Structure 1
Amino acid sequence: MNKKAELIVDEKALLGEGPTWDGHQNVLYWVDIMGENIHRFDPKQQSNQTLHAGQEPGAVVVHKDAELIGAMQHGFYRIDFDRETFDLVVDPEEHLPGNRFNDGKVDPAGRFWAGTMAYSKQKDQAALYCLTPDFTCSQKVSHIGISNGLAWSADCKTMYFIDTPTLEVSAFDYDIATGKISNRRPIITFSGDDGRPDGMTIDAEGMLWIAHFRGWKVSRWNPETGQCLEEIDVPASQVTSCVFGGEDLKTLYITTARNKLEKEQLDKEPHAGGLFAVNPGVEGTPSHRFGA
């Protein structure tokens, strides 16, 4: 029998996404893209604070203290969650108003990788960018459909990436010193029958955890063999992303969405858009901090 994730915040987010664990403060940041909100969940206090962003946040990562870096609808921003301030760093797609940032993660060297998507869902119109700690931005991959999950291997030689419409997880050779990626190749292919691959994280054993959008689950994969090892049931169909957190990194936090669900569907999954959690029995990896 599969393990089942439990509801911890009944937020009813339109499009929950981008979870990242702050190991200094022991809180989880996550976003509601369509609701234009950034959340901070404190598991000890069982509180979920909300900062309204005024535009769609694709993902946020921790910089220092309460300062975040956000990949937003209109570019990269420095965000002070407590002071509720937003300062634009750079907008690499200012010339593409039909695009927005979607998902992103910090690599082991402290660079923020984040990609875009077109509101029209048009394939090949988006890209993957890298923001370095000195706030220099460069494009790393072009002709993307919907940029999603990212992860890095423990030896820092491989980067994993999901472009959702391809139904594939790709691997790149990764140079931690320069941030250069090369030799893209598919390592996991989905049929699409049990949802589409969305957000992703990696555990301490080097296995990938992948959210299934419209698939009711998160699955664990061996990137070397392409084998699915186990699945976690989620009581929401639109599972968007996941990340390890908790002081021992043994809790898997899972974000979900409720946008585009009709009333009959919402009756079947009333907690869609909530934040869920499960102890999968394996330790995770820490969320890196920008500039670390």
Structure 2
Amino acid sequence: MGSKNVQLVLDAKATLGEGPCWNENEKALYWVDILEEKFCRFYPETGQNESFLIGEYVGAVVCAGKDEVVLATQSGFQSFNMQKSTLTPLVDPEAHLPFNRFNDGKCDSHGRFWAGTMEIIEKGATGSLYVLETDYSYRKVHEDVGVSNGIAWSLDEKEMYYIDSMRKKVLVFDYDAEKGEISRPRTLIDFASEQGFPDGMTIDAEGMLWIAHWDGWQVSRWNPRTGTKLESIAVPAAKVTSCIFGGDDLDILYITSARKGLEDEQAGDQPHAGGIFAVKPGVKGTKTQAFGASYNQ
């Protein structure tokens, strides 16, 4: 338990580092610093980290072809060209809810971008989960969400897993991959007795879930068939936000974290809070999907 060696790979000092995704062609880890209004591209082999300032909260980033990403921001879905530094608004599902912002999101195997919202002050359950189709149309698929967070799909694509951090629950839906539809939400894992709140999530090649614990100093591995916790890996930061598998063999788990709310006197306990960490957990992961169907064939 927790003896696996977690290493700091980027001392990013991110206020709210989140949403890592792995680009296998570039061998790069994309991630966001939500409160610093930017996303970054990190090359683990060289240690280089490029920042792209967007100018508003960026909840999630997904790759969408060469030099293109799609972002889930405070003002909806937008595409960004990294070569030209141009931001293009696509659609804003919550233009009528100015006090909400997008949070975590991920693409499915058909290239659709699933992303959810939350109230910026995190008081009410005003959030929803949306799907951005590859033609830029969108649908609302789940509502009454506190803090929309981690998303993953079962290996057979029959189920979708989804975290509402505010409710401390991991939900499971029936999932129709062809139509991109979810149904029958039910609680899979209740975090009430766990340390911290469930945050970001990914799935490994054995179909087990990896969940980051906000205020819990760890990532944990769970069996979604039984809802049982299999193991926990300690992280030297309290606010662990998300995780994704990367590396040539998808055998490295990259972990993001946050410094938000950390007072100076506490920073001594966790000098690298807000950093990106990596560990080889002994299992391989699943590939990060890109936006737009043509990229996932």
Question: What TM-score do the two structures reach when normalised by structure 2?
Answer: 0.96
The AA in structure 2 aligned to 1:186 is: T
CA distance in 1, matches of 2:57, 2:5: 30
CA distance in 2, matches of 1:209, 1:285: 12
Residue 232 of structure 1: how far off its partner (Å): 1.0
Residue aligning to 1:94: 95
CA distance in 2, matches of 1:166, 1:118: 14
The AA in structure 2 aligned to 1:118 is: E
Residue aligning to 2:56: 55
- Over 3 Å counting, the alpha-carbon distance change for 1:192 and 1:97 in structure 2 is farther
Residue aligning to 2:30: 29
Residue aligning to 2:66: 65
* Preserved CA contact (<8 Å) 1:202 1:285: yes
Residue aligning to 2:82: 81
Q: Which runs of 5+ in 1 are unaligned?
A: none
The AA in structure 2 aligned to 1:47 is: Q
The AA in structure 2 aligned to 1:279 is: K
* Preserved CA contact (<8 Å) 1:12 1:257: yes
The AA in structure 1 aligned to 2:269 is: K
Residue aligning to 2:231: 230
The AA in structure 2 aligned to 1:247 is: D
Residue aligning to 1:103: 104
1:117-150: CA deviation from partner (whole Å, max 9, x where unpaired): 1012123201000001111111110110000000
CA distance in 1, matches of 2:121, 2:264: 24
> Does 2:241 align with 1:243?
no
CA distance in 1, matches of 2:176, 2:94: 25
SS at match of 2:64: strand
CA distance in 2, matches of 1:198, 1:123: 17
Residue aligning to 2:284: 283
Residue aligning to 1:44: 45
Residue aligning to 1:134: 135
SS at match of 1:64: coil
Structure 1 ranges of 4+ moved more than 6 A: none
The AA in structure 2 aligned to 1:128 is: L
1:9-60: CA deviation from partner (whole Å, max 9, x where unpaired): 1010000001000112111100000011211011222211111111111000
CA distance in 2, matches of 1:88, 1:4: 41
The AA in structure 1 aligned to 2:114 is: W
CA distance in 2, matches of 1:247, 1:74: 35
Residue aligning to 1:221: 222
* Preserved CA contact (<8 Å) 1:167 1:192: no
The AA in structure 2 aligned to 1:116 is: T
- Over 3 Å counting, the alpha-carbon distance change for 1:122 and 1:192 in structure 2 is farther
CA distance in 2, matches of 1:5, 1:127: 34
* Preserved CA contact (<8 Å) 1:167 1:189: yes
> Cα RMSD (Å) of the superposition?
1.0
* Preserved CA contact (<8 Å) 1:123 1:146: no
CA distance in 1, matches of 2:256, 2:280: 15
1:208-235: CA deviation from partner (whole Å, max 9, x where unpaired): 0000000000000000111111111110
Bigger shift: residues 1-10 or 142-151: 1-10
CA distance in 2, matches of 1:4, 1:145: 33
Residue aligning to 1:15: 16
CA distance in 1, matches of 2:194, 2:163: 17
CA distance in 1, matches of 2:284, 2:66: 25
Residue 82 of structure 1: how far off its partner (Å): 2.9
Bigger shift: residues 74-83 or 174-183: 74-83
SS at match of 1:110: coil
Bigger shift: residues 76-85 or 104-113: 76-85
Residue aligning to 2:123: 122
CA distance in 2, matches of 1:192, 1:237: 17
The AA in structure 2 aligned to 1:289 is: A
The AA in structure 1 aligned to 2:226 is: T
> Does 2:172 align with 1:171?
yes
The AA in structure 2 aligned to 1:48 is: N
CA distance in 2, matches of 1:258, 1:266: 8
Residue aligning to 1:205: 206
Bigger shift: residues 22-31 or 185-194: 185-194
> Does 2:261 align with 1:255?
no
Sequence identity percentage: 52
The AA in structure 1 aligned to 2:42 is: F
